[in-house]
């Protein structure tokens, strides 16, 4: 294990420890079925895939692998059916949704080595992938020694439920708003912070999406959009006045930026910013030297949002530590103070 992986594990452990027993009790007390409970592994970092937007599904597919001739279904209880090759019958499954580009990624990983790509392609000619008409526009496939990856171009952003059956994997696609009472989109949060947010909301009716962008937040009709930005400040930030005397250094700062050019009835961007400012200030004793302010700004990302949206800008000597603290308090604020 690398030093970077060690550091990531330590940060995750610290974040999870800070949650403590309240989360465990909260999760046990809720009957809501979430991703982990339906067997889903969601490598959300795949949402960072950069791709040119295109109106033609074929253009997207050709950039993702070998385009397969899928069989189109007009009806059925599932939206996608992927037959297993002989070597993939015991494979583990991971699924990720690229909200911004309407691409669904499915990866099968097996302990058995794949046959050659030609053999795999011949298999899927005889046993085609099934896709729902109007919902799924096509599929591309790529193969590694022990894995098969499928990329589906879909018509919208979906939550995905895996349904393993004999000889195949079936996927049911559902609009996020139909699965969750509250939808949140988080951009700019690293893996440890995303793990913390997932753990904090586990067992609740809150659905989280990562790196979906403002347009993705609009599309899924999220209840809020939060973007985290960090700026590393130099360790020596002392100020020398006109008389040559050294004053106290510049404090670490948290700026909460919002824009209210788009009218949102009820809980709007200003209300979201105010809620976060209130919580950051109320627990600021645990983060000495951190200043908190909120400001109405003209920002392209915020002006795109048709949902309550803020940018949290962290300026600190140790921006990771401060942004970890921001993640914890943000989760607390939205759990305790947010009213839909």
β-sheet bridge partners, residue 232: 316
pLDDT, residue 13, reads 53
Give the helix ranges, DSSP H, for 102-225.
117-126, 176-179, 191-201, 213-219
DSSP readout, 25-80?
A: HHHHH-----GGGGT----GGGGG------S-HHHHHHTTSEEE-PEEESS-S-SE
Give the span between the Cα atoms of 89 and 164, in whole angstroms: 10
**What are the tens digits of pLDDT across the range 41-95?**
333 333 333 333 444 666 778 888 899 999 999 988 899 999 999 999 999 999 9
- The phi-psi region of residue 311 (left if phi > 0; otherwise alpha if psi is between -120 and 50; otherwise beta) is beta
Nearest 10 degrees: CA dihedral of 28, 30, 34, 36?
10
Give the helix ranges, DSSP H, for the chain.
3-19, 21-29, 57-62, 117-126, 176-179, 191-201, 213-219, 269-282, 300-304, 319-336
DSSP percent split of the chain into helix, strand, coil, nearest 5: 35, 30, 35
Domain ranges of the chain: 3-30+178-336, 37-174
Look up the CATH architecture of domain 37-174: Sandwich (2.60)
Residues of the chain falling short of pLDDT 50: 3, 10, 12, 17-55
Give the pairing type, strands 159-165 and 103-109. unpaired
pLDDT, residue 288, reads 59
Q: What is the pTM of this model?
A: 0.72
Contact 115, 87 (CB under 8 A): yes
Provide φ and ψ at 9, rounded to 5°. -65, -40
Give the helix ranges, DSSP H, for 84-188.
117-126, 176-179
pLDDT, residue 21, reads 37
Work out the end-to-end distance of the chain between its first and last CA atoms, rounded to an integer number of angstroms: 43
Give the span between the Cα atoms of 134 and 272, in whole angstroms: 36
Nearest of 131, 40, 118, 119 to residue 86 by alpha carbon: 119
What angle (nearest 5°) sits at the alpha carbon of residue 95, between those of residues 152 and 23? 145
- The answer to whether 3-30+178-336 and 37-174 have equal CATH topology is no
pLDDT, residue 37, reads 27
What does CATH list as the number for 3-30+178-336? 3.40.630
What angle (nearest 5°) sits at the alpha carbon of residue 177, between those of residues 173 and 182? 130
Nearest of 237, 261, 252, 242 to residue 321 by alpha carbon: 252
Q: Is 311 helix (H, G, I), strand (E, B) or coil?
A: strand
């Amino acid at each position: 294990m690398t030093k970077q992986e060690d550091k990531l594990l330590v940060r995750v452990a610290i974040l999870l420890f800070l949650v403590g027993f309240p989360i465990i009790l909260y999760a046990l007390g809720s009957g809501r079925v979430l991703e982990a409970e339906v067997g889903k592994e969601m490598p959300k970092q795949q949402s960072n895939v950069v791709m040119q937007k295109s109106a033609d599904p074929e253009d997207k597919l050709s950039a993702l692998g070998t385009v397969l001739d899928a069989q189109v279904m007009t009806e059925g209880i599932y939206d996608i059916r992927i037959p297993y090759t002989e070597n993939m019958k015991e494979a583990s499954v991971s699924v990720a949704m690229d909200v911004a580009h309407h691409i669904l990624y499915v990866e099968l990983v097996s302990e058995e080595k794949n046959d050659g790509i030609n053999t795999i392609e011949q298999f899927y000619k005889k046993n085609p992938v099934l896709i729902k008409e109007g919902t799924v526009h096509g599929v591309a496939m790529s193969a590694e020694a022990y894995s098969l990856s499928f990329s589906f171009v879909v018509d919208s952003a979906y939550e995905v439920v895996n349904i393993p059956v004999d000889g195949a994997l079936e996927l049911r696609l559902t609009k996020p708003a139909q699965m969750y009472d509250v939808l949140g989109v988080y951009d700019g949060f690293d893996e440890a912070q995303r793990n913390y947010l997932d753990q904090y909301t586990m067992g609740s009716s809150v659905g989280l999406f990562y790196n979906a962008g403002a347009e993705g937040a609009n599309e899924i009709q999220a209840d809020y959009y939060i973007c985290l930005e960090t700026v590393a400040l130099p360790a020596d930030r002392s100020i020398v006045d006109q008389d040559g005397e050294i004053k106290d250094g510049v404090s670490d700062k948290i700026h909460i930026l919002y824009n209210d050019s788009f009218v949102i009835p009820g809980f709007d961007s200003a209300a979201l910013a105010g809620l976060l400012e209130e919580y950051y200030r109320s627990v600021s004793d645990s983060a000495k030297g951190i200043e908190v302010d909120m400001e109405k700004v003209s920002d392209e990302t915020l002006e795109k949002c048709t949902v309550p949206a803020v940018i949290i800008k962290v300026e600190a000597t140790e921006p990771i530590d401060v942004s970890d603290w921001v993640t914890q308090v943000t989760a607390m604020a939205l759990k305790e103070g947010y009213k839909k």
